[in-house]
Amino acid sequence: MLEETGTNHMKSDSARRRQMDQQVVEFDIHGVVGIRLVDPTAADVAAVTKQLGPLQRLLLREPDVTLRFVQHLPTPRLRHLGLKQKGFTDDAFFVFDGRTNGTMARIPFDLVGKPCEIACERGRGAVPLLMPILSLTALAKGFVAVHASAFVHHGSGILMAGWAGSGKTTTLLGFASKGAEFIGEELVLLSGDGQMMCGLPREIELSPSHLETVPDVRRAIKRHRRWAFESLRHLARMQGILGEKINGAFPASVLGRAISAAQRRVLPKVSPQAVFGSRVDSLIAKPEKVFLLISHDDSCVKVRRTPPTEMARRIAHMAQYEQNRFTEHYLAFKFAFPAVKNAFLEESPAYQYELLSSALMAKETYTVWHPHPVNFSVLYEKIKPFCESTANVQNEAVCVLA
């Protein structure tokens, strides 16, 4: 028995020494998901930090996802599915990410949702599919990843969900100008019991409409970038006028797309602190009110009380849509290994809806229809009464000219 105990201690010491020989960086996503980077370069750490936000914390538990960085991934007898998109060998599946300088990663799709290790070539940019893997790992822990912004306004936790381009960021930035506390942007984890929402402190992506409709955000942008943006905006207006006068002699749509792309490059991403100041603290709050933002062609803003069951269905379908790219890769994995499947992944849509139904059951849930782009002051005035109290607010639609 003493011999066995001594052997265990030797194994433990050996493991510690091996870990000390490797560079290890860890991220703790609010105690829900733990991610460990093994042997990353500084560029790898920066890339993951860009995806997750600055949440580097020493894990006091085993990681849920280990990202092991290597110089080169061996791919003996690689069979390709698509040109430089994905491929497989006899015992592994590989994903290429063209948006990140051709990064290749070995992903065990059959283990996603459980503790798993992803091997990734170092120094090549962001880790492919990291965010959907994080979302599914959180789902296995009883949290739904919602495409949303979140903040605390006058003591009430507010979750603003919506499709891409629905106005979530505009609403977040606008409420920031009214003293709200930042919780999260783009992706917010909502617990199945509805008692907690926690966000990622990622940089906030700005669009031209944010500078036009939420003037307070301008202070967070460096002056030379504002000037560059204004110059491009004037150029866009001139292009529109000239496009009409020259009657299509020059492909105006091509020039318009080029100007829009230039505007996106000029407008930076900003940290939450640049907009919220010191009102970025725990990144955790209890959600009291849930809003679903939808833009429409009408010229007015409408706010209507929505049954939690309907809200749960809509957000569940939206969350499933957000997983489309991951699902495509999983189906390719099943093509490569037809005898292997991940039961959790295949049951995840039903489980996601079950958690959302439970989380939203006792919440005040509203749908907001608004024109796009929308002047934030109008949007704020219509949403504010529902955020602060519902005692004197009617449940019918509220419509005013935007």
Q: Can you give the three-state secondary structure of 316-354, one letter per residue? A: HHHHHHHCHHHHHHHHHHHHHCCCCCCHHHHHHHHHHHH
| pLDDT the model gives residue 259 | 55
CA–CA distance, 358 with 111 (Å, rounded to integer):
26
Residue type, 100: T
Classified as helix, coil or strand, 60 is coil
CA–CA distance, 370 with 351 (Å, rounded to integer):
31
- Domain 143-206+275-401 class in CATH: alpha beta
What does pTM read for this prediction?
0.83
Phi, psi dihedral angles at 359 (to 5 degrees) = -65, -35
Sign of the dihedral through C-alpha 67, 120, 339, 113 = positive
- Tell me which residue has tokens 């939808």: 294
Provide the token pair at 169: 């960021």
- Are the beta carbons of 157 and 286 closer than 8 angstroms? yes
Phi, psi dihedral angles at 270 (to 5 degrees) = -125, 150
Strand ranges across the sheet with 188-191: 143-146, 188-191, 197-199, 284-285
* Domain chopping of the chain, boundaries: 2-140, 143-206+275-401, 208-271
- Are the beta carbons of 345 and 109 closer than 8 angstroms? yes
Question: Each residue's pLDDT tens digit in the chain (402 positions)?
Answer: 434 444 444 444 444 444 455 799 999 999 999 999 999 999 999 999 999 999 999 999 999 999 999 999 988 899 999 877 899 999 999 998 766 556 789 999 999 999 999 999 988 778 999 999 999 999 999 999 999 999 999 999 999 999 988 889 889 988 998 999 999 999 999 999 999 999 999 988 877 666 665 656 666 665 555 555 556 555 555 555 555 444 455 555 655 566 565 555 556 678 899 889 899 988 999 999 999 999 999 989 999 999 999 999 999 999 999 999 999 999 999 999 999 999 999 999 999 999 999 999 999 999 999 998 777 788 888 999 999 866 445 444 445 444
